[in-house]
Amino acid sequence: MVLFKKVLVANRGEIAVRVIKACQEMGVKTVAIYSDVDKDAPHVQLADETVGLGDPTPIQSYLNISKIIKIAQDVGAEAIHPGYGFLAENPDFAMSCDDAGVKFIGPSSKVIGLMGDKIAAKKTMEKAGVPVIPGYHGLKQDVSTLVREGKKIGFPLLVKAAAGGGGKGMRIVYSEDTLEESIESAKRESKSSFGDDTVFLEKYLDKPRHIEFQILADEYGNTIHLFERECSIQRRHQKIIEETPSPVVSKELRRRMGEAAVKAAQAVGYSNAGTVEFMVDGDLNFYFMEMNTRLQVEHPITEMTTGVDLVKWQLRIASGMKLTLKQKDLFQRGHAIECRIYAEDPRNGFLPSVGTLEKIEVPTGPNIRDDSGICTGMKITPYYDPLLAKLVVSAENREESIQKMIWALSHYVVMGVTTNISFLKKVLEHEEFRRGNITTHFIDNYFKDWTTAKKGLPVDAIIALAVYDLMHRRTHEVVRYKEADPHSPWKHVGRWRVGGI
């Protein structure tokens, strides 16, 4: 089977750089697309061909399906790699690629749509025998039914929006007294944010951990997993530090979770790279949460410990090649940690920071990897995700990996915008983190003073919050946004997210 000759990368920033480099290493020509504010960005400088998108607003640039498809056809690209975010989990985009005769590097539009519907996804997993969190995922959405089902589940419980994520339309209910009001409130917010007031109910887990499994599947039914990633260090429902192996996953638990992840992928006929995400409670019971039908931000730590290049395998699988990796031959070596470096102010509620990058110094050394989409002189605007780079290190064990990351962060310099580098160091230095005693509530529990904005929002931050939230919605919501814009930036202050990235 022959690889593609030319691939269009429908993204920007560090992930566009990552994909372009992988393509070029395999002898595949690349096409970068860019908005007006990205004309001098690293991914544009690196690609073999470049085509401008014009208007920098996401809807008119990196979310513009018809414009991107036409560019791919005009330049003769045989395939499109969506990266993550933007259109990566948009079933309409995947279908449009198919209709245009351009290969979408990812799963089918049908699978993307199924896994994007949280209720349908959980029902599918239940039928496949994959553990799901006890709850109500039914179609009856009247408040009285939901209240009755909530009482059956018991307290505390979660009310969650079916169409969204990142905290929108989600309520923790501790008693029967607040159940009805919480359901009504969650429905209103879900309707406002996603145009859909469907919610479901789940048992609230004690000491929850977020642990995911990387999977690869070809188009011939061969499926493997590449072990777990611990993603419990989050602020506002977004991961900021990931590591592998997880400090709590035993060999036996890893086997059972890995088998469940493979079973989940096979249940929907999955192909290409994907991630099955689980919640794990204090007793190490695990439950399916969702499946991300794309490459994950944190994929480098899997690559560092397994030696498998996930992006290259995405290209091979999409071109029709069979998966030659066998589960029995895969193993992890050492321990890897990733820190996401953001243009944001941790001391002011993690609000986005904008400005011009005046100086950048990146740490170097054995087993230190910097996946970056920035350069000196580049302007960080309010239009896009404020992720600047991903710093990744690996060492022989967790203790050494933590210490190495602290050193690397101490030697990472970004001037011109406020970053979260110092905050990441403080988390890594925390005694409970070093012990591996982490949950998704870690930052709220130990860094509560950092999570609230301490002063008024500048206009740039307001715009960034709204655009950022829009950019990462599961993409059937993007279509609604084009038709009507009910999403005032003021509604998103303090709740911005990266939709599961």
Residue with tokens 């018991």: 154
Pairwise CA distance, residues 391 & 413, whole Å: 12
Q: In what order do the strands lie in the sheet with 223-235?
A: 286-292, 272-280, 209-217, 223-235, 238-244, 335-342, 387-395, 368-372
Secondary structure of 348-388 as H, E, C letters = HCCEECCEECCEEECCCCCCEEEEECCCCCCEECCCCCCEE
Per the CB < 8 A criterion, the answer to whether 286 and 131 are in contact is yes
**Torsion from C-alpha of 412, 448, 345, 405, nearest 10 degrees:** 10
Pairwise CA distance, residues 354 & 269, whole Å: 42
Residue type at position 297 = V
> CA 294, 130, 209: angle at the middle one, nearest 5?
70
Q: Which of 469, 417, 437 is nearest to 193 (CA)?
A: 469
Q: Is 294 an active-site residue?
A: yes
H helix or E strand, kind and range, residue 97? helix 91-99
How many helical (H) and strand (E) elements, i.e. helices and strands, does the chain have? 17, 23
Catalytic hit among 12, 229, 254, 294: 294
CA count, 13 A, side-chain hemisphere, 311: 25
Q: In what order do the strands lie in the sheet with 135-136?
A: 135-136, 199-203, 157-161, 171-173
Q: Which residues carry out catalysis?
A: 294
